[in-house]
Amino acid sequence: MSGSSIRFQLSLRFGLLALIGVLIAAYAITRQIRHLDDLVQEVALGHQIEDLANALGRDADGMPTLDLPPRLLRLYEEQHNGSVFVIRNQTGQVLFDDGDNALKILEPGFTFPSFFHYFQAVDMSPEEARGLDPQRFGMTERVNTDIGEVFITVAQHRVADDFLSRAVAIELVDDAILVGGPLLILFILAGFGVVSYSTRGLSFLSEKARDIGPQTIRTRLPVHAAPTEVMPLAHAFNEAMDRVAEGYDNQQRFTIDAAHQLKTPLAVLRARLETIAPFAGRDLLEVDLSHMETLIQQLLTSARISVVNISPDETITLNALAQEVVVALAPIAIEQGKTLELERPDVPVVVMGESHLAMEAIRNLVNNAINHTADGTTVTVRVSEPHKLQVLDRGPGVPDSEKKHIFMPFSQGRKPTRNGTGMGLAIVSQIMQVHFGKVTVKDRDGGGAVFTLHFSPPLVRQAEE
């Protein structure tokens, strides 16, 4: 199963949840729109009943009267939308109506409601309707008026109000799209922001885990900074790192103990070799013995480097270290018919580091260059900004196929020498790792190789910058 971003997954689900909510809301609005026509008809009929109730009164003799306002007169005289009405008293006796046709239309749907009653009545064939809805929408309501309690029944066709309801429905849909779309996008973006803020603890733990390496193997994740759901994973990670550190310590102790144990018999062997009479092959035996002594010493050096922790505020000057190494190794180069030169700026190049380890790395690179550069050529040690030291030779160079693993232990390249152990460049790489730097190699123009030590800037300068 391929990994994916927790933030993306949570935000996606958050967005889908928001989309589902919008769809549910849209469905609810759609259902309301479907009933909007009935609502418009009910409101229109309710206004008619209210106007009719207000038009009721009594004359000087106390008889009920109906004084319709001009608007209602036109409505019923012109039969606009098929509007009709009937007004009854509490016994059902008709007090006022819109003619005989009104009774014919409204009588089948009449009842004595406690408050109000809706009904539908069909009084026209499709041919008679001529574009109108043959079905009337009616309403009867119990109303208290100036002449007492009456039952007012009204009805009309669905024509003009139907257009109104559709217009309102379209307006609602347009507003929902205009407002709902941006709100949905804003909701998703806000969800992503909330998820990102809520998972910031995971980012902090990831950075801490990324900083753990061979030189910081005892660093542990701050469990208190982890979200509750991730605490078990952080605890398990720290426990796993405890086991790794324990195995790493055991391996280092074994390497150091084994190297120490081997030094004693080798010292005894050398002492005996120096006391016996010369014999054939003694020179080769002494070379092999020196090779073993060098290898054991390098194993000890490698084991000790792995437990070194350099303080970030500890600094060295590359100019001075490079000069010291060149002065020390120049006689060896001259003895082999080669020369050493130093190129350095007038301004000190200060880097973070430990002087003995840094000098060991420089010495190993210069020794390696002297051994591989051609006779009569010059090995150049160059100090430069920013925080670099280069060693340039005129040897056979390093093939591209070997550049990736030349810094691995016991790697001697394509032309191993009898005196080489394959640990020199590995120790250089190890030293640069504890300096939070690195060593690289590339081809030199005109032949040869260029090894570069990349150091870290001092902590004080980093703070100033």
Residues in the chain: 465
Range of the domain at 235: 223-304
**Cα–Cα dist 321/328, whole Å:** 11
Q: How far apart are CA 362 and CA 389, in angstroms?
A: 8
CA distance 84 to 76: 6
Looking at the structure, tell me whether residues 434 and 334 fall in a common domain: yes
Q: 74-83, 115-124, 137-146, 258-267: which has the minimum mean pLDDT?
A: 115-124
Percent of the chain with pLDDT over 90: 22
Domain annotation covers residue 215: no
Average the pLDDT over each of 79-93, 159-173, 366-380 and give the range with the smallest value: 159-173
- Distances in Å between the Cα of 176 and the Cα atoms of 22, 27, 29, 181 are 10, 12, 9, 8
The per-residue pLDDT for 161 is 46
Span 264-273, average pLDDT: 77
The last residue of a domain, from among 130, 158, 186: 158
What CA–CA distance (Å, rounded) separates 392 from 441?
10
- Can you tell me the distance from the alpha carbon of 255 to that of 301, in angstroms, rounded to the nearest whole number? 10
At 54, which CATH number?
A: 3.30.450.140
Question: Does 152 score more than 50 pLDDT?
Answer: yes
Return the closest-CA partner of residue 449 out of 408, 409, 406, 418: 406
How does pLDDT run across 437-457, given as a tens digit for each residue?
899 999 999 899 999 999 988
Q: Does the residue 210 lie in any domain?
A: no
How does residue 461 score in pLDDT terms, banded at 50, 70 and 90? Answer: very low
Predicted confidence at residue 144, as pLDDT, reads 92
Number of folded domains that form the chain: 4
Mean pLDDT confidence for 187-203: 70
Task: Identify the band that residue 174 occupies on the pLDDT scale cut at 50, 70 and 90.
Answer: low
Q: Does residue 291 or residue 236 have the better pLDDT?
A: 236
With respect to residue 20, please indicate whether it lies within any of the assigned structural domains: yes
Contacts of 187 (CB under 8 A, 6+ apart): 15, 18
Same domain, 439 and 314: yes
Contact in structure between 435 and 453 (CB atoms under 8 Å): no
Confidence of residue 46 (pLDDT cuts 50, 70, 90): confident
For residue 169, how many C-alpha atoms fall within 13 Å in the half-sphere facing its CB?
Answer: 19
pLDDT for the residue numbered 151 = 92
Does any domain span residue 203? no
Q: Which residue has the higher pLDDT, 31 or 4?
A: 31
How does pLDDT run across 375-400, given as a tens digit for each residue?
A: 999 999 999 888 899 999 999 988 88
pLDDT of residue 407: 84
Asked if 13 and 136 sit in the same domain, the reply is no
Mean pLDDT lowest among 49-58, 118-127, 281-290, 374-383 = 118-127
| 204 in any annotated domain | no
Instruction: Judge if 315 and 446 occupy the same domain.
Output: yes
User: Between 151 and 190, whose confidence is greater?
Assistant: 151
Question: What is the domain-level CATH number for residue 315?
Answer: 3.30.565.10
Instruction: Judge whether 346 lies within some domain.
Output: yes
Same domain for 431 and 445, yes or no, is yes
Lowest mean pLDDT among 82-96, 160-174, 282-296, 402-416: 160-174
Q: What is the CATH number of the domain that holds 286?
A: 1.10.287.130
Per-residue pLDDT, 464:
41
Residues 343 and 362 in one domain: yes
Comparing 72-86, 306-320, 343-357, the range with the smallest average pLDDT is 72-86
Q: Which of 277, 304, 331 is the last residue of a domain?
A: 304
Calpha distance 432→418 (Å, rounded): 26
Instruction: Render 309-348 in DSSP notation, one character per residue.
Output: ---TT-EEEHHHHHHHHHHHHHHHHHHTT-EEEEE--SS-
Q: In terms of domains, do 327 and 416 share one?
A: yes
> Is the pLDDT at 129 greater than 60, yes or no?
no
pLDDT value, residue 6: 64
Average pLDDT value for residue range 234-260: 78
The strand pairing partners of 153, in sequence order, are 86, 140
**What is the reported pLDDT for 72?**
82
Q: What is the pLDDT of residue 281?
A: 76
Same domain, 318 and 261: no
Residues 320 and 459 grouped into a single domain? yes
pLDDT bracket for residue 295 (50, 70, 90) = confident
How confident is residue 36, by pLDDT bands cut at 50, 70 and 90? low
0.75 exceeded by the pTM? Answer: no
pLDDT surpasses 50 at 371: yes
**At which of 109, 135, 158 does a domain end?**
158
For residue 206, tell me if it sits in a domain. no
**Which of these, 381, 411, 377, lies nearest to 396 by C-alpha position?**
377
pLDDT at 335: 93
Same domain, 455 and 319: yes
Work out whether strand 315-317 and strand 148-157 pair parallel, antiparallel, or are unpaired.
unpaired
Task: Give the pLDDT confidence of 69-125 residue by residue, as tens digits.
Answer: 888 888 777 665 678 888 999 888 889 988 757 777 777 656 777 776 777 765 655
45 and 182 in a single domain? The answer is: no
**Read out DSSP for 28-48?**
HHHHHHHTHHHHHHHHHHHHH
The secondary structure of residue 57, as a DSSP letter, is: E
Q: Give the pLDDT score at 322.
A: 94
Tokens representing 12 are 């996606």
Q: What is the pLDDT of residue 454?
A: 94
Confidence band for 189, pLDDT divided at 50, 70 and 90 = confident
Determine, yes or no, domain membership for 193.
yes
Same domain, 315 and 300: no
Highest mean pLDDT: which of 179-193, 208-222, 233-247? 233-247
pLDDT for 122 equals: 59
